[in-house]
């Protein structure tokens, strides 16, 4: 049995890996899955088969040696009382608990996908194209690169169907931005205090907020005149403005950075998503793109009047024409947004399938334990029926044992899941919370349904016991 199970598992593994190998994942850095089983996997499978077979064979054998010859001769070695919790019961409880954990995580990601399809990230993704321009290192000085960016913007804005274009140093919903959040002690001039903050930073052009449809709530966006040599200015988002200035209107105030650089706050932008869809009220600061030194790298955000996919090629050709040696990659913002949903899709698929397999194994284990327990208690059931036990009493006996296993497994699984799924919140939209009771109620109902189906056959077998046959049962 162990060898057949291992062989079937390896064949299933080979089929699934062949199915998944070569799959391209649309992430900010393109990922291709290359999954090839090797000798280490085969050795692991063989070793696992040996250990499990040895353990499952030795435990019943050792248990049998402790019974003694006297116990074996009495009543045919059978008990007529209810069985206590054994290793079989513990294994079933463990399977049920793991199934609860996997189902909880899988359901979270599934609900997240449902909400995310209509989720507002705080900026427009339906009419935006993003082109990444990377020139060879040392090809341009900062002044030459700024002139190149100006030329690129002029040509992009002249393309048919283009409404606006702007450079930026970062693309939102890029998980790699989480590793480069600046921070430190800031000193606003609106008070005699310092405030320590950590925020998302981006250097953007004058039309960035227009391209992305991010409203400027107070003050103004950056102007084309905000360049090197002019007084430094910044735009804050709502959360950072409130953190630094409280209820005071920050527009026109001076903000001192940790490096003692001063900048005037010229505008307040509405909050949006910067790194993940799960962040809530994150702080952000925008610098003017042309007040920074850039010499090799830029993102160009282009707003289109129609579908962005129709202009991707033209944008790509326009930027490549400026520098044939530069690396240019152009995508629609919809594609980037789809990449941000990848953790939810992968989580829903992987954890969901694992949860279904785990639930199947748990139901088989529960069915086997209850069927075995019923078989062991056929004589006891016959005696109870002969003494006047009703079908309801027999039903309560079998269902009660199933209920104990399911209750213990469910309690352990829910307790572990309540803690284990909390780190997943960074991948979830605000409407989906890891501690949502609805999630755990749905999982518990699913497990209760599966447990009821697994209990049905042993219960029916117990109800069909004939007292006359049961009393002669060996």
Identify whether the C-beta of residue 413 lies closer than 8 Å to the C-beta of residue 100.
Answer: yes
pLDDT at 138: 82
pLDDT at 67: 58
Residue 413 CA neighbour count, 13 Å, CB half:
30
Identify whether the C-beta of residue 222 lies closer than 8 Å to the C-beta of residue 251.
Answer: no
Q: Is 224 helix (H, G, I), strand (E, B) or coil?
A: coil
What is the full per-residue pLDDT of the chain (474 aa) written as tens digits?
Answer: 888 888 888 888 788 777 777 666 555 555 666 777 778 878 888 888 888 888 878 877 776 676 555 555 554 444 444 444 477 778 788 888 888 888 888 888 777 777 766 667 788 888 899 999 999 888 899 899 999 999 999 999 999 999 999 999 998 887 666 556 888 899 998 666 889 999 999 999 999 999 999 999 999 999 999 999 999 999 999 999 999 998 889 999 999 998 888 999 999 999 998 887 777 788 999 999 999 988 888 999 999 988 888 899 999 999 999 998 899 999 888 877 776 666 666 666 777 777 777 777 777 877 777 777 777 777 777 777 778 878 888 788 878 878 888 888 889 988 998 888 887 776 676 677 787 888 888 888 888 888 888 888 777 877 777 776 666 655
pLDDT at 220: 95
Q: How far is 286 from 212, CA to CA, in rounded Å?
A: 14
Identify whether the C-beta of residue 145 lies closer than 8 Å to the C-beta of residue 296.
Answer: yes
Q: Would you give the DSSP letter of residue 350?
A: H
CA 262 to chain centre: 40
Q: Is 80 helix (H, G, I), strand (E, B) or coil?
A: coil
Rounded to two decimals, what is the model's pTM?
Answer: 0.64
Q: How far is 2 from 52, CA to CA, in rounded Å?
A: 8
Provide the residue count of the chain: 474
pLDDT at 76: 47
DSSP string, 427-443: GS-TT--TT-HHHHHHH
Q: Of 328, 330, 325, which is closest to residue 140 (Cα–Cα)?
A: 325
Would you state the structure tokens that stand for residue 250, as one six-digit string? Answer: 């920050």
Q: How far is 202 from 169, CA to CA, in rounded Å?
A: 6
pLDDT at 83: 43
Q: Of 402, 414, 407, which is closest to residue 441 (Cα–Cα)?
A: 414
pLDDT at 225: 93
| Distance, first Cα to last Cα, the chain | 27
Q: At how many degrees (to 10) do helices 142-157 and 312-322 cross?
A: 150
Q: Residue 261: which residues within 8 A CB-CB, separation 6 or more?
A: 232
Q: Is 47 helix (H, G, I), strand (E, B) or coil?
A: helix
Q: Would you give the DSSP letter of residue 423?
A: G
Q: How far is 200 from 240, CA to CA, in rounded Å?
A: 10
Q: How far is 330 from 70, CA to CA, in rounded Å?
A: 82
């Amino acid at each position: 049995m162990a060898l057949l199970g291992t062989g079937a598992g390896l064949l299933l593994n080979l089929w699934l890996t062949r199915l998944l190998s070569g799959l391209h994942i649309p992430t900010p850095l393109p990922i291709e899955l290359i999954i090839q089983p090797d000798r280490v996997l085969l050795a692991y499978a063989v070793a696992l088969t040996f250990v499990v077979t040895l353990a499952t064979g030795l435990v019943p054998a050792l248990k049998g040696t402790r019974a003694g010859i006297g116990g074996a001769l009495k009543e045919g070695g059978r008990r007529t009382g209810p069985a206590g919790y054994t290793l079989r019961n513990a294994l079933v409880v463990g399977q049920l608990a793991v199934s609860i954990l996997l189902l909880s995580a899988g359901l979270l990601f599934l609900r997240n996908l449902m909400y995310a399809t209509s989720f507002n990230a705080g900026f427009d993704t339906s009419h935006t194209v993003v082109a990444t321009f990377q020139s060879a290192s040392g090809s341009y000085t900062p002044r030459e690169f700024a002139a190149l960016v100006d030329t690129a913007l002029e040509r992009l804005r002249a393309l048919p169907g283009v409404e606006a274009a702007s450079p930026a140093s970062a693309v939102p919903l890029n998980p790699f931005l989480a590793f480069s959040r600046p921070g430190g002690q800031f000193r606003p001039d609106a008070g005699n205090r310092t405030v320590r903050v950590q925020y998302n930073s981006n250097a953007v052009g004058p039309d960035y907020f227009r391209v992305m449809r991010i409203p400027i709530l107070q003050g103004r966006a950056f102007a084309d005149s905000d360049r090197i040599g002019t007084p430094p200015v910044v735009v804050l988002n709502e959360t950072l403005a409130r953190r630094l200035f409280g209820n005071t209107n920050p527009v026109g105030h001076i903000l001192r950075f940790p490096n003692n650089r001063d900048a005037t706050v010229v505008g307040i932008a509405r909050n949006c998503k910067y790194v993940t869809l799960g962040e809530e009220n994150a702080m952000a600061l925008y610098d003017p793109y042309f007040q920074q030194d850039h010499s090799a790298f830029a993102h160009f955000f282009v707003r289109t009047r129609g579908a962005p996919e129709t202009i991707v090629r033209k944008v790509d050709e326009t930027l490549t024409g400026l520098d044939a040696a530069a690396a240019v990659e152009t995508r629609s913002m919809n594609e980037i947004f789809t990449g941000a949903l990848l953790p939810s899709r992968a989580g829903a698929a992987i954890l969901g399938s694992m949860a279904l397999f785990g639930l199947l194994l748990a139901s088989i284990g529960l069915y086997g334990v209850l069927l075995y327990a019923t078989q062991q208690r056929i004589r006891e059931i016959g005696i109870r029926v002969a003494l006047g036990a009703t079908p309801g009493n027999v039903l309560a006996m079998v269902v009660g044992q199933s209920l104990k296993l399911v209750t213990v497994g469910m309690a352990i699984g829910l307790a572990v899941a309540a803690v284990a799924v909390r780190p997943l919140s960074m991948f979830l939209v605000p409407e989906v919370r890891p501690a949502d009771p609805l999630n755990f109620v749905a999982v518990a109902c699913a497990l209760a349904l599966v447990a009821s189906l697994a209990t049905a056959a042993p219960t029916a077998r117990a109800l069909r016991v004939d007292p006359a046959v049961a009393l002669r049962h060996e």
